[in-house]
Chain A
Amino acid sequence: EAGVTQSPTHLIKTRGQQATLRCSPISGHTSVYWYQQALGLGLQFLLWYDEGEERNRGNFPPRFSGRQFPNYSSELNVNALELEDSALYLCASSPRGVGAEAFFGQGTRLTVV
């Protein structure tokens, strides 16, 4: 069974540009979560989508946005990139159900220059 896949693996953008990161969840999983991990720091929760709806949002500015498609895949968009947006962006998915665990992809390394 395929795991959570993220693309691209690496992305280099210049300050002020927009970045789009993609995530395909494990088949049958309806929830997708996005996290940011800046170098040397912990995982910060960004966004949670379930059944196409945004369910919760972390403490990030509105230029971080996303969506979930009918096939449950998801996009994370970061507008007006700043240097401090350089980080590893991780996506996770989980199925419905009490206590369901989440599984992570390998991440997209975004570098803003």
Chain B
Amino acid sequence: DAKTTQPPSMDCAEGRAANLPCNHSTISGNEYVYWYRQIHSQGPQYIIHGLKNNETNEMASLIITEDRKSSTLILPHATLRDTAVYYCIVRVGSGSARQLTFGSGTQLTVLP
């Protein structure tokens, strides 16, 4: 699976949009981009994933660049409860599901 690069930490003001970047310059054509978050000492929570088109769900939006070498997770109106470590993961999507390989992620702190 392709390696990802994320900033170690970011701050965001409550109520503002949080934009979390991820670089995955070696991504292959059959690899999906997944985002998870982990609130302290809890199990990681699935947020969203995509292949090449932008995706949106009730939690967030995922913007993938046309060349697929980077992506941005957008939390449109961040709240204090969004403070967590956010992981960007690239994983092969063909055939059976495979394990997710977690990096160090981005610690997002939402400030009041």
Q: Is B98 within 8 A of A48, CB to CB?
A: yes
Q: Is A101 within 8 A of B93, CB to CB?
A: no
B38 to A: closest C-beta gap in Å:
8
Of the candidates A92, A99, A107, the one whose C-beta lies within 8 Å of that of B93 is: A99
Q: Which residues of A contact B96 (CB under 8 A)?
A: 31, 50, 55, 96
Contacting residues of chain B (52-91) with chain A, CB-CB under 8 angstroms = none
Q: Which residues of B contact A104 (CB under 8 A)?
A: 36, 43-46
Q: A31-B97, A50-B96, A94-B97 are in contact. Are A42 and B104 (CB under 8 A)?
A: yes
B interface residues, tally (CB under 8 Å): 25
A interface residues, tally (CB under 8 Å): 29
A111 to B: closest C-beta gap in Å:
13
Q: A88-B41, A98-B93, A98-B94 are in contact. Are A103 and B99 (CB under 8 A)?
A: no
Contacting residues of chain B (3-59) with chain A, CB-CB under 8 angstroms = 32, 34, 36, 38, 41-46, 49, 51
Q: Is A33 within 8 A of B99, CB to CB?
A: yes
A31–B56 alpha-carbon span in the complex (Å): 26
A48 to B: closest C-beta gap in Å:
5
Contacting residues of chain A (37-55) with chain B, CB-CB under 8 angstroms = 42-43, 45, 48, 50, 55
Closest residue on chain B to residue A103 by CB atoms: B46
A99–B94 alpha-carbon span in the complex (Å): 7
B99 to A: closest C-beta gap in Å:
5
A96–B46 alpha-carbon span in the complex (Å): 16
Q: Which residues of A contact B111 (CB under 8 A)?
A: none
B39 to A: closest C-beta gap in Å:
11
Q: Is B43 within 8 A of A106, CB to CB?
A: yes
A4–B43 alpha-carbon span in the complex (Å): 10
